[in-house]
Amino acid sequence: MKKSMFALAAMAGTVMMLVAGCSSTSIDTNRFGSQIVLKMEVVEFVPQIAVGEEYISGSSSCTVYCGFIRIGDTAKQASGISFTNGSSIWGGSDAYQRAAIYDACSKNKADILLAPQYTTTVDGNFFKKTVSCTVKGFPGYIKSVKLASPKCAKAKAEAKAEEKK
């Protein structure tokens, strides 16, 4: 009886240690004893872009089963593009648009697509539908990227802060 009570008490103590956990707080200081102050500045880059004179186009199509299982060519997509069309976590229509942009840029060796125009068609029902997206726009080729002057970046950051107010 004493052994089982001791074992039970040991298990309860172990559980309490695991549940309670431990925490610590530390403040980093330099060797002179004062606290380190970090300052973050806004840095902007200005790309020099050459724009092509003719439209280029790209397309993607995909079959969607039960609203979220996608089978098609949306595996390769352009990144850094955000749409505000209420897409879902399963990759709404913006996934097809990004795949079409990737197709257009990779076929034409363009870095970006300027003034894109999308045509999206959906055929089928909830259980099985085919989504096709075509995009056309002007190709952009990045020639160089330069660091914007700090004064210019600071003025833009201040302007954005005033717009939010």
**Does residue 153 lie in a domain region?**
no
Has residue 116 been placed in a domain? yes
Digit-coded pLDDT (tens) for 78-90: 666 655 554 444 4
pLDDT tens digits, residue range 84-119?
554 444 445 677 888 888 889 999 999 888 888 988
Say if 147 falls within a structural domain. no
List the domain range (segments joined by +) for residue 65. 52-141
Contact status, residue 74 vs residue 95, Cβ threshold 8 Å: yes
Whether 7 maps to a domain, the answer reads: no
**Is 107 within the bounds of a domain?**
yes
- Give the total number of structural domains in the chain: 1
Please tell me the pTM assigned to this model. 0.56
Task: Examine residue 27 and state whether it is found in any structural domain, yes or no.
Answer: no
Asked if residue 33 belongs to a domain, the reply is no
